[in-house]
């Protein structure tokens, strides 16, 4: 039995609380890093991170990319998206294929 | 290409030939694995892209509802309304094996089954926009989950493909040429030794024949001399 969580600024994550996700309101980079580390040691399978925060703690998050769990997924926040989600897909494709062949037309 | 530093003997040659066989077999299999992974990966990456775009649009709608709700209601009431969630989500993680990559599959269960009963507050003090926002969010939650699963799978597959590609390249451009080169070198060396040996034997034989001839000639000469002196 695993849990799901969300990290982000208070306004953006408030709605997820109603869905039953464990919501952590972090506004600074340091806070988010510590929270993420402690969450990944617990039974969290999926952690949604609001993407302006995601961009700031990217380096910590990428360490978890190779692991099976948790899945750390960026979602757009109240202030809109930073495009990091699509950027990540693009990076994965580049990593696997050697060249970006999906986003050519953009 | 540098050859391996080995003694050019028959035994080493046999082991190297065996290694070359294994290496080429491994290379072929890894290549097949890479191609299949790549096929699945590209399909998945396309799916991931589409899903992400869809989720980002949908979540934008949810937020706009939330903005309206928080504008209509005071922050205290909003906080209070969402303080104790009624709905709970638990995730079941099972495994899927994609070309020997372990990929997690998420199944989720909500604690309240009734979709109209997810609101953790009474309707008296809250605005309708909040209801809308929460309903929308719970509608797109399955999408969010499948996005998480797909995104994780893409990441895991990407790193596996990278690893496999490196192995294939290492085998193709380093291991196999090196082994071939070394095998060729040993074979040439052995052939050279063989030829050297042959020539040596021929030379020895020549010398021996020469000696035998000389001996014979001497014998004939001496017997001829003997015969002549008797006459």
For residue B15, give the CATH number of its domain. 1.10.287.3240
| Domain that includes residue B61, residue range | 10-85+118-180
pLDDT at B22: 95
Chain B residues close to A102, C-beta within 8 Å: 42, 45-46, 49
Residue B107: inside a domain, yes or no?
no
- pLDDT beneath 50, residues of chain A: 106
Q: Bigger pLDDT: B129 or B187?
A: B187
> Which residue pairs, CB below 8 angstroms and at least 24 apart, start in B43-51?
B44/B150, B44/B153, B44/B154, B44/B157, B45/A89, B45/A92, B45/A93, B45/A102, B45/B154, B46/A102, B47/B150, B48/A89, B48/B147, B48/B150, B48/B151, B48/B154, B49/A86, B49/A89, B49/A102, B49/A103, B51/B143, B51/B146, B51/B147, B51/B150
Report whether pLDDT(B60) > 70: yes
pLDDT at B170: 93
Q: Quick check: B41 contacting A, CB < 8 Å?
A: yes
pLDDT at B24: 95
Greatest Cα-to-Cα distance within chain B, rounded to the nearest angstrom: 157
**Is the CB of B85 less than 8 angstroms away from the CB of A20?**
yes
Q: Bigger pLDDT: A54 or B203?
A: B203
Q: Quick check: A48 contacting B, CB < 8 Å?
A: yes
**CA distance linking residue B140 with residue B121, whole number of Å:** 21
Confidence band (pLDDT; 50, 70, 90) for B182?
A: very high
Report whether pLDDT(B207) > 90: yes
Residue B129: inside a domain, yes or no?
yes
Residue B153: inside a domain, yes or no?
yes
Residue B163: inside a domain, yes or no?
yes
Q: Quick check: B157 contacting A, CB < 8 Å?
A: yes
Of B46, B52, B157, the CB nearest to A85: B52
Confidence band (pLDDT; 50, 70, 90) for B143?
A: confident
Interface size, chain A vs chain B, as Cβ–Cβ contacts under 8 Å? 145
Give SS3 for B3. Answer: coil
Residue B51: inside a domain, yes or no?
yes
Chain B residues close to A16, C-beta within 8 Å: 137
Residue B113: inside a domain, yes or no?
no
Residue B26: inside a domain, yes or no?
yes
Strand pairing class (B89-98; B101-110) = antiparallel
CB A71 within 8 A of CB A85: no
**ipTM, 2 dp:** 0.85
Domains and CATH numbers, chain A: 3-97 (3.40.50.10580)
Of B49, B59, B106, the CB nearest to A45: B106
Residue B50: inside a domain, yes or no?
yes
Report whether pLDDT(B1) > 70: no
**CA distance linking residue A105 with residue B118, whole number of Å:** 42
Enter the DSSP assignment of B9.
-
**Is the CB of A17 less than 8 angstroms away from the CB of B82?**
yes
**Is the CB of B88 less than 8 angstroms away from the CB of A76?**
no
CB A40 within 8 A of CB A47: yes
Chain B residues close to A5, C-beta within 8 Å: none
Report whether pLDDT(B8) > 60: yes
Confidence band (pLDDT; 50, 70, 90) for B114?
A: low
**Structural domains of chain B, count:** 1
pLDDT at A103: 67
CA trace torsion A30, A33, A38, A39 (10° rounding): 130
Which range, of A38-47, A93-102, B35-44, B165-174, averages the lowest pLDDT? A93-102
**Is the CB of A14 less than 8 angstroms away from the CB of B91?**
no
């Amino acid at each position: 039995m695993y849990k799901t969580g969300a990290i982000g600024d208070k306004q953006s994550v408030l709605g997820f609380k109603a869905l039953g996700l464990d919501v952590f309101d972090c506004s600074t980079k340091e806070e988010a890093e510590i929270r993420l580390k402690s969450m990944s040691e617990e039974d969290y399978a999926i952690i949604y991170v609001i993407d302006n925060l995601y961009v700031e703690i990217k380096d910590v998050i990428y360490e978890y990319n190779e692991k099976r769990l948790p899945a750390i997924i960026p979602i757009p926040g109240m202030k809109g998206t930073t495009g990091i989600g699509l950027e990540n897909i693009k990076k994965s494709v580049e990593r696997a294929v050697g060249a970006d062949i999906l986003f050519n037309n953009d | 290409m540098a050859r391996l530093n080995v003694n050019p003997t028959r035994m080493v040659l046999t082991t190297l030939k065996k290694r070359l066989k294994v290496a080429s077999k491994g290379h072929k299999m890894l290549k097949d694995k890479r191609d299949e992974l790549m096929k699945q990966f590209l399909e998945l990456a396309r799916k991931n892209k589409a899903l992400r775009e869809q989720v980002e649009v949908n979540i934008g709608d949810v937020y706009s509802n939330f903005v309206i709700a928080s504008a209509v209601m005071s922050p205290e009431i909003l906080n209070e309304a969402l303080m104790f969630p009624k709905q709970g989500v638990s995730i079941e993680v099972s495994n899927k094996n994609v070309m020997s990559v372990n990929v997690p599959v998420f199944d989720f269960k909500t604690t309240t089954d009734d979709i109209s009963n997810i609101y953790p507050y009474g309707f008296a003090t809250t605005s309708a926009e909040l209801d809308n926002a929460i309903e929308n969010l719970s509608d797109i939650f399955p999408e969010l989950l499948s996005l998480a699963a797909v995104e994780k799978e893409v990441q895991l597959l990407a790193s596996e493909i990278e690893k496999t590609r490196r192995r294939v390249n290492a085998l193709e451009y380093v291991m196999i040429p090196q082994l071939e080169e070394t095998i060729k070198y040993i074979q040439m060396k052995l052939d050279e030794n063989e030829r050297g040996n042959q020539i040596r034997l021929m030379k020895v034989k020549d010398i021996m024949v020469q000696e035998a001839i000389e001996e014979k000639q001497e014998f004939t000469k001496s017997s001829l001399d003997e015969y002549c002196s008797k006459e």
